[in-house]
Amino acid sequence: MTAIAEPVAIRNDRTEVIHVEDLWAGYGPEPVLEAVNLHVYALDFIGIIGPNGGGKTTLLKVLLGLLAPTRGTVTVMGEPVASGRRHIGYVPQVVEFDHDFPISVWDVARMGRLGKRPPLRRYTSADDDAVADALRRVDMLDLRRRAIGELSGGQRQRVYIARALAGRPEILLLDEPTSSVDPRVSTSIYELLRELNERVTIMLVSHDMGAVSSYVKSVGCLNRHLFYHGQDHLTPEMVELAYQCPIDLVAHGVPHRVFAEHAIEAIQRYRDEEQRRS
């Protein structure tokens, strides 16, 4: 099966910031990603969904230079990943930390500047300005002296986004950014991301289909192959190709509550097929 990945027509004045062509990648002899093609343009806001184990986090690892492709071409801002990744800010799915460790909001956000200075070099006023700006953008500057362990889950997530922004990236990658917060906080975080998207290109992977359908500019399905057309909605064909059957679709959280007509069509086709077999 060949991946469906050609984007819709893009105006000539838009800059391609991520280029992925015929990407194959994995952790052993069996590939996790096969023939993935993706073109991301400046100020895109792309949501990637797909079943667990479908390769969403693996794709982010390739873009971050943490996993080398076995085949294909990947560039970031027109550069190989090894150098282009400096343009990327990353917010991981889970951040493990000791809640009793007395590290402040400011110090956590300032970690985002580590890759912007030589090793063992003291932080500069320019670093401090970047950290203050990042915390201000996520509305956490007033809590900069608070211990990170004293914050709510939503506040911590804003600090982790600030840490990514402190490096002043042109691209922001997020892995399940609202997996550990309640729906109300999730909404506030996605509202924040929509504001940030006015200045930063965003790609996120998520199972939160309510957020994906409400906030992203385009959405794709990833299950070894990437099914992406640069559209802001899923087509029945994309859902069927990525999820294979309604049991897989429901089990992995593709939310029929958001794309109800797609799920209903898939389930009805499944039932009709079962009746024919019986």
Given this model, what pLDDT does residue 193 score?
95
Task: Give per-residue pLDDT as tens, 152-186.
Answer: 989 999 999 999 999 999 999 999 998 878 888 88
Task: Report which of 103, 157, 106 is spatially closest to residue 127, judged by C-alpha positions.
Answer: 106
Domain presence at residue 11: no
Please tell me which of 46-60, 113-127, 256-270 the model is most confident about, judged by mean pLDDT: 46-60
Domain presence at residue 1: no
Domain presence at residue 156: yes
Which CATH number does the domain housing residue 197 bear?
3.40.50.300
DSSP annotation of 231 reads: -
Q: How far is it, in rounded angstroms, from Cα 173 to Cα 170?
A: 10
Question: Is the pLDDT reported for residue 278 higher than 90?
Answer: no
Residue 158, classed as helix, strand or coil, is helix
Q: At what angle do helices 153-166 and 125-137 cross, to 10 degrees?
A: 140
Identity of the amino acid at 275: Q
Question: Is the pLDDT reported for residue 230 higher than 70?
Answer: yes
Domain presence at residue 247: yes
Domain presence at residue 196: yes
Domain of 162 in residue numbering reads as 16-277
The domain total for the chain is 1
Task: Give per-residue pLDDT as tens, 28-45.
Answer: 888 999 999 999 999 999
Strand partners, 75: 19, 80
244 — pLDDT class (breaks 50, 70, 90): low
243 — pLDDT class (breaks 50, 70, 90): low
268 — pLDDT class (breaks 50, 70, 90): low
Domain presence at residue 8: no
Cα dist from 130 to 123, 133, 134, whole Å: 11, 5, 6
Domain presence at residue 234: yes
Domain presence at residue 142: yes
Given this model, what pLDDT does residue 72 score?
98
Residues 6+ apart with CB under 8 A from 224: 31, 32, 33, 34, 54, 55
